[in-house]
Amino acid sequence: MGNISSKPQQNVEEKKDSLELNKLYKEALILFRKQKYPESLKKALKLNEHTKISKENIKYLTSILIADIFDKTHKYDEALKHYESILNLLKSSNQIISERNYLSNLNKHELYGKIYLRIGSLYLKQYYNKEDIDTLYTRKLRDSSILYFNKLEELNSSNKKVEKYKALSYLSLSSIYQIDSLFDKATEYAYKAINLNKKRNDKINLARSINNLGSIYLSTNQLKKAKKTYLDGIEIIDNNNDPNAMRFKANLYFNLAWVLRNLKDYKAYDYQELSYNIEDKEKEKEIRSLIEEVTASHKETLEQQKVDLVKSQTELLKAQQDKSTLLVSILSLLGLIISGVVIYNYKLRQNNLQLKINQNKLIEKEKINRIKSESQVKILNATLDGKETERKQIAETLHDSVSALLSSANMHLHATKKQFNGNTPVELEKTQQIILEASQKVRDLSHNLVSSVLLKFGLGYAIKDIGNKYSNCELRFLVNINNITRYNQEFEIKLYNVIHELINNIIKHSKAKNAHIVLEDKNGFLSVLIEDDGVGFNYKDNKIKSGLGLNQIEARIHMMNGNFIIESSKQKGAKATITVPVKMRSVISV
């Protein structure tokens, strides 16, 4: 009888424990979705250490959540370690994941699919973040990514989520092979992604897959196919105002505009403008949301700080009143001692005063000379870097300035917390969390703000775009591009800014009717020729050189180990020649 009655009691206790574990997991998941990663990780780790979750489906979900948090906070090694531990757990267990668990609805194939996709994407993310993609380490990242995407393709399951994971892996494989210029394989996987997304009726990812196929056609110069493909993608999500759909729609319009420009179709500029409008609206929504969230959190913290400040001031005033009598006595005694010391030192100061005055004059003179020298250096550096700084993208400003300030504030808060010996005020914890959240959102937003013809298609296409954009009935630009490929991104940006400055001088000052721009890559050197038939100028006149920014251009080309030559005279036009050693962006060969 004792054994029989103990079983219902045991079942009740197990059910109670299970509900408590599920509640803790849901709390951690909600914090993760709110991007409160430290709080979410704290709860998830506590849950993961619980001995009773080993028999629950929640064991897998908690491990995935921990790995996802490390992924979101860019701790890729930790994320990989946890994803791989889940795979080991799956392989060592014959347990079938219950379909009845309302938190997961995961089966074993679905878990394998999710983990294979996450691991492959992590390797691919690190591969994309490397500037040089032709090192042993980056090749290993690429191969590891392909390995796990292929494992996902091998899963034999009709589960809808597994099919979603497969479609995403096909899209990633298509992008990898496109970077490697293996366009047949890239096309094959693009079509696999398209067909699977059609089957799933996932219109957003279908448009994304079609956009990828269009980029393959564009890379292989199949412009008419690319045009039709981009139009098909736009048609699928044209009336969809979901944020993800709007992002892909803007990208489709931009790519379509580029194809039409190459086909000399003047609708290109309409589509390009439409792309910019969509992107601007989405960025405005993100910025507004970020500002509102930070402002609300800041107001809440300020109100609490005001309450605490009033309380602290009251306590301080009371303490000061208690000590006032003692302080008066001490100050009286100190006054007598100080008076004696002052009288004693008065004559000594009189004797040394003149000597100190002379020393101060000498020190001030040295300071003035040092400031003059430093100012000259700063002026020279500002002259060389001024034009480059003006062309910095908003993304760089967010990343290098705002993010750095937030990190500095976080560091100071961290140092302040140590002074409380473990009794840190809640307000400091909240303030530090706000800074961490803002820093993460600024970092994510900065990545979404980078978009230009130069970064996407390279120097040759960017200069062609300038020629097309600035040509009109009064001034015609002729652009010749010979053997130009993709180079190191920093090299392309610097040279593009120099060429753009020279073209601006032609437009503003030359009064020319024709201008010729030639780019040629030969024997490891990139040469640029820019000439016009305008009014010309006296190159020896330093005022003119300064007004046209030529001194700064000379300095920049010199810093790139190149040569810069100007030939011009009155009424005979101008000719600028630039020669710089190229800095290549490596390409993987398979």
The single residue listed with the structure tokens 């009691």 is 9
- Residue 25 clears pLDDT 70, i.e. is over it: yes
3-state secondary structure labels for all residues of 156-201: CCCCHHHHHHHHHHHHHHHHHHHHCCCHHHHHHHHHHHHHHHHHHC
Q: Are 212 and 171 in contact (CB under 8 A)?
A: yes
- Residue 577 clears pLDDT 90, i.e. is over it: yes
Residue 291 pLDDT class (50, 70, 90 cuts) = very low
pLDDT of residue 379: 54
Mean pLDDT for the stretch of residues 107-113: 82
Non-local (6+) Cβ contacts of 470 within 8 A are 477, 503, 507
- Residue 331 clears pLDDT 70, i.e. is over it: no
- Pairing label, strands 514-522, 476-482: parallel
The single residue listed with the structure tokens 């298509």 is 174
Non-local (6+) Cβ contacts of 98 within 8 A are 57, 104
pLDDT of residue 49: 78
> Token pair of 565, please?
């030559």
pLDDT of residue 526: 93
Single-letter amino acid code for the residue at 297: S
Measuring CA to CA, which residue among 61, 56, 46 is closest to residue 17?
Answer: 56
Compute the mean pLDDT over every residue in the chain, rounded to the nearest whole number: 76
Mean pLDDT for the stretch of residues 300-315: 63
Q: Indicate the DSSP class of residue 584.
A: B
Q: Indicate the DSSP class of residue 223.
A: H
Mean pLDDT for the stretch of residues 420-436: 80
Measuring CA to CA, which residue among 481, 471, 504, 488 is closest to residue 560?
Answer: 488
Q: Indicate the DSSP class of residue 586.
A: P
Alpha-carbon separation of residue 583 from 26, 491, 502, 557 (angstroms): 51, 6, 22, 14
> Token pair of 403, please?
């993010």
Helix/strand/coil for 451: coil
- Pairing label, strands 525-532, 563-568: unpaired
Element (H, E) at 81: helix 76-92
Angle between helices 203-219 and 160-179 (to 10 degrees): 20
pLDDT of residue 19: 78
> Token pair of 299, please?
């107001």
CA distance 262 to 258: 6
Does 1.10.10.60 match the CATH number of domain 24-285? no
Mean pLDDT for the stretch of residues 17-25: 79
pLDDT of residue 477: 92
- Residue 279 clears pLDDT 70, i.e. is over it: no
Q: Are 157 and 206 in contact (CB under 8 A)?
A: no
508-543: pLDDT as tens digits: 888 899 999 999 998 889 999 999 999 888 877 766
Residue with the larger pLDDT of the pair 447 and 264: 264
CA distance 238 to 250: 10
Q: What is the CATH number of domain 457-581?
A: 3.30.565.10
220-232: pLDDT as tens digits: 989 888 888 988 9
Q: What are phi and psi of 574, to 5 degrees?
A: -145, 150
50-90: pLDDT as tens digits: 755 555 567 778 888 898 999 888 888 888 888 888 888 77
Residue 22 pLDDT class (50, 70, 90 cuts) = confident
pLDDT of residue 538: 80
pLDDT of residue 100: 37
Order of strands across the sheet that contains 476-482: 476-482, 514-522, 525-532, 574-581, 563-568
192-246: pLDDT as tens digits: 989 998 998 988 888 889 988 989 998 898 988 888 898 898 888 888 888 877 8
Residue 581 pLDDT class (50, 70, 90 cuts) = very high
End-to-end Cα, the chain, rounded Å: 73
Mean pLDDT for the stretch of residues 325-343: 67
Helix/strand/coil for 152: helix
- Residue 480 clears pLDDT 90, i.e. is over it: yes
Residue 579 pLDDT class (50, 70, 90 cuts) = very high
pLDDT of residue 274: 58
Residue 589 pLDDT class (50, 70, 90 cuts) = very low
> Token pair of 323, please?
């000590």
pLDDT of residue 378: 46
- Residue 334 clears pLDDT 80, i.e. is over it: no
In 3-state terms, the chain is what percent helix, strand and coil (to 5)?
75, 5, 20
- Residue 302 clears pLDDT 60, i.e. is over it: no
pLDDT of residue 187: 94
CA distance 48 to 55: 12
Q: Are 179 and 588 in contact (CB under 8 A)?
A: yes
Q: Are 209 and 193 in contact (CB under 8 A)?
A: yes
- Domain locations along the chain: 24-285, 400-449, 457-581
CA distance 230 to 358: 79
* Range with lowest mean pLDDT among 323-337, 378-392, 529-543: 378-392
pLDDT of residue 320: 65
Would you say the CATH fold of 457-581 matches that of 24-285?
A: no
